[in-house]
Amino acid sequence: MKEFAQLFRQLDQTTKINLKVESLAAYFEQVSDRDKLWTIAILSHRRPSRTVKTSLLRQWAAELSQIPLWLFEESYHIVGDLAETIASILPPADRENEYSLTYWIDYIKGLKNLPEEEQREYLLDAWGMMDHAERFVFNKLITGGFRMGVSQKLMVRALSKYTKVDENKLTHRLMGHWDPGEDDFQELIFSENPADDLSKPYPFYLAYALEGEPEALGAIEEWQAERKWDGIRGQLIVRGGELFVWSRGEELVTDKFPEYQALLGALPDGTVIDGEILPYKDGKILSFNLLQTRIGRKNLSKKILSTAPVAVMAYDLLEFGGEDLRERPLSERRQLLEQLMASEDLPSVFMLSDCLQVKNWDELRQARAESRNFQSEGLMLKRKNSPYRVGRKKGDWWKWKVDPLTIDAVMIYAQRGHGRRANLYTDYTFAVWEGEQLVPFAKAYSGLTDAEIRRVDAFVKRNTKERFGPVRSVKPELVFELAFEGINKSSRHKSGVALRFPRILRWREDKPTEEANTLDDLKALLKLYGNDQND
Amino acid sequence: MDLLTFNPNGIYCSQADLYIDPWRPVERALITHGHSDHARYGHKHYLCTETAAPVIRHRLGDIKLQTIPFGKKVTVNGVDFSFHPAGHILGSAQIRVAYKGEVWVASGDYKLEQDGLAEAFEPIPCHSFITESTFGLPVYTWQDQESIFEEINDWWRQCQAAGKVAVLSGYSLGKAQRILRGLDPSLGPIFTHTAVENINRIIRQQGYDLPVTQQVRPEMKKPDFVGGIVVAPPAALNSPWIKRFQPHSLGIASGWMRLRGARRRRAADRGFVLSDHADWPDLNKAIAATGASRVFVTHGYTSIFSKWLNEQGYDAQVVETRFEGELNEINESTQAAEKSE
């Protein structure tokens, strides 16, 4: 695992893409095929399930380091990363090891279902033969959430550099189901026929946000405009008499959406649809919040199926009659999709995302302004003669979102961040006025520059009222403008509202706290844009 | 009334009417060492060790400064004062205060590892010990300096191979000289920022050995720096000064580099865990060696560290410093490393 720890260090020490690609490619040269597969898996978020409870890890690490648990927890708050905290407090190792990454992953998998006492023995033994860097990655493998500062795209680029296989082909081959512990590297990477795997999805094509005005895109006749639906982007695959549903996060979610089984007989074999999974009932699209209530559940109760049913809004046709259509122009794919949709046997859960019929950009602008009335986030613009590309690419697809809603709010709590921002107060809770009271209504963290974060951090440390573990209440003196995509009623929040995607737009240093918005202002927004069916 | 008390001016001995490392201007100040959060402007009379004096004079200019050798006693109104090595930087001292059989030690900043420049830390038996806690968390443990210097020299070699200038930051007083002594001069030329070179000059005049260095001058051009390493204070990293070395690789030598988050926040290419402060094991070791029953915790993770000490059987308490008890945490987030500049 020394090579892997070294790779991690190299990736962590630079922000330069080229250096990362080089380090990865060099690493692929060094290690076994099995280690390569595991590394690819880790970098594409396929990791073994957790076998040891983190509460036990904390306890054992504290015991071994001869410090009380409270001191471990305080240290963890300051470090901001459990794996690193454990690696840093343990006494130095007394042995070394030359075991591979695969060896240690199997070792971790083997801990599953062992009695706690034995898990403890195995862990102590492992820690006793690792240096700080090895312990850190080992702990990361146990706790999960391993961010190595390498996107899937970048990993594929490095793998392509090493294997000389085209990046798009590699992306496709690495999609879907494969097991880094079982599959063969040569077969997975070099096999010319990835469709052998019936469930294998195509890489999603993702859009960038439109910068500036749409007129810059040229003649409107060359573009197809649709509403941008607010659900879960997904791919529906019918092959070999089976239906598979993939989310954009490359998760196989077939079981989560039993409604779609109705499509099995209705769509011909060898069909792949790109679309949006939407909560939908009685002819109306519901709020995304409702979808969230069912995603996390292990068991879908009858109740949840009836309160939060789903439909799919079809955007594109990627495969038809078993043929990969992605290189054909959008206009052609769209025509085929419309023909397919014309069939009378299709169940009602299957809908077509309409193309907006407009004559010029101004009419489209008007349509965009009405987005919120349709429970939509804005528009999608797609070039009619474009192929279906791989990943996020500029040029042919643009998302043109509505401007966010905004409100001025007062910061009342601050919490330490994680990772790069550990030890800095970066996560804030905001409040609006209700009479003389400040009522909290949203948490947000992104949106400030590093310099601003440092200044807010210094403010927090000097203006703390009370401490609650990692959270501090602060004097209500700073005002921020928050942006958010939507607003809904909520009985779980004291304020009675829940915001969608709240983030800090700017620090309003010019505004005294008295001029921040009020709860009544929020309620007025709720009335205008809120969605009543929700909670 | 305690022999030493803490008031808004700093650490005060009322029996002798003088202060240790005061923050605000006072009549008489005993100074542990020359870093700017300890040796401040505006006092009427200063007293420090002989080896600390030249740098303090350089930094504070025309002040009334008396010096005292390590270990020598001076008595003021019945109170005995003496200075003992703290191992932090050259000339840095702990100050022992004794009156009618009661002994206090104000440690200033200290470290136990010997770096060859700072006089080696001596444990001083006392009843009450005032300790710093800059790195008073169990996650802060240092490796021995030889292995860190090896890392630094390896990195310098890698920079040379990649055609880059190695730029390494460390406080200009103390850390910079320690780095210089750890560099392998056979690898290539060593350059210094003016702030570092000013201190080097003083320390060389005091008779200590430092490797040959060249001060970076405005007329120097890119080719002059090829294959070299530049030692500069942290503040210089955020200034246009550094552009002249492009392409370069940035390294930071600091105890804060122990944490990945801190390392990444600085956007440095490399972090080297090298500190002039005691790590967690050494803080505990130093306190135990004094035999003190009362411990006053200042500068750092004060509340956590004093809670820990209380559980270990000490009578420990937090001393609030003038930045509301979080001097170090604030400094850390606004680049603590600049404090000596």
Highest mean pLDDT among A258-267, A469-478, B77-86, B328-337: B77-86
Residue A48 has pLDDT above 80, yes or no: no
Over residues A506-529, the mean pLDDT reads 90
Active site residue A393: no
Over residues A478-499, the mean pLDDT reads 87
CA angle in degrees (0–180, nearest 5) for B87-B93-B97: 135
Tokens 């401490």 label which residue?
Answer: A467
Rounded to a whole number of angstroms, the distance from the CA of B323 to the nearest CA of chain A is 8
Phi, psi for residue A203 in degrees, rounded to 5: -60, 140
Please tell me which of the candidates B139, B262, B330 has its beta carbon nearest to residue A89.
B139
pLDDT tens column, B121-140: 999 999 999 999 999 999 99
Would you state the pLDDT for residue A354? Answer: 93
Cβ–Cβ gap A14/B269 under 8 Å: yes
Cβ–Cβ gap B141/A88 under 8 Å: yes
Rounded to a whole number of angstroms, the distance from the CA of A89 to the nearest CA of chain B is 5
CA–CA distance from A251 to each of A44, A178, A189, A245 (Å)? 11, 12, 20, 8
pLDDT tens column, B256-287: 999 888 887 777 888 999 999 999 999 999 99
From the list A20, A140, A200, A228, the catalytic residue is A228
Q: SS3 sequence, A423-445?
A: CCEEEEEEEEEECCEEEEEEEEC
Which residues, other chains included, contact B320 with Cβ-Cβ below 8 Å and sequence gap of 6+? B6, B302
Pairing of strands B5-7, B10-13: antiparallel
Query: Residue A31: which of A93, A95, A104 has the closest Cα?
Result: A104
pLDDT tens column, A99-119: 999 999 999 999 999 999 999
Does residue A202 contact residue A320 with C-beta atoms inside 8 Å? no
Residue A12 — pLDDT band, cuts 50, 70, 90? confident
Please tell me which of the candidates B138, B261, B333 has its beta carbon nearest to residue A75.
B138
Tokens 């471990």 label which residue?
Answer: A72
Would you state the pLDDT for residue A419? Answer: 62
pLDDT tens column, A55-113: 999 999 999 999 999 999 999 988 888 999 999 999 999 999 999 999 999 999 999 99
Question: Residue B185: what residue type?
Answer: P
Global pTM value: 0.77
Question: How far apart (Å, rounded) are the C-alpha atoms in residues A64 and A139?
Answer: 15
Residue A501 — pLDDT band, cuts 50, 70, 90? confident
Alpha helix stretches (DSSP H) within B90-219: 145-161, 175-182, 194-205
Contacts B140 to A, Cβ<8 Å: 88
Q: Please, which residues 382-441 of chain A have a Cβ atom closer than 8 Å to chain B? A: 418-424
Question: How far apart (Å, rounded) are the C-alpha atoms in residues A369 and A167?
Answer: 39
Please tell me which of the candidates B139, B269, B301 has its beta carbon nearest to residue A88.
B139
pLDDT tens column, A253-305: 888 899 999 998 889 999 999 999 999 988 888 888 788 778 777 778 888 88
Q: What six digits make up the tokens of A442?
A: 């949203």
Query: Residue B290: which of B308, B276, B309 has the closest Cα?
Result: B309
Cβ–Cβ gap B137/A419 under 8 Å: no
Would you state the pLDDT for residue B336? Answer: 35
Would you state the pLDDT for residue A422? Answer: 65
Residue B145 — pLDDT band, cuts 50, 70, 90? very high
CA angle in degrees (0–180, nearest 5) for A279-A282-A288: 20
Phi, psi for residue B197 in degrees, rounded to 5: -65, -35
Would you state the pLDDT for residue A5? Answer: 95
Would you state the pLDDT for residue A6? Answer: 93
Would you state the pLDDT for residue A421? Answer: 67
Cβ atoms within 10 Å of A403's Cβ, excluding its own = 10
Question: How far apart (Å, rounded) are the C-alpha atoms in residues A62 and A58?
Answer: 6
| DSSP three-state, residue B97 | strand
A14 in B contact zone (CB under 8 Å): yes
| DSSP three-state, residue A488 | strand
Residue A190 — pLDDT band, cuts 50, 70, 90? confident
Question: Cα A245 from chain centroid?
Answer: 17
Cβ–Cβ gap B334/A421 under 8 Å: no
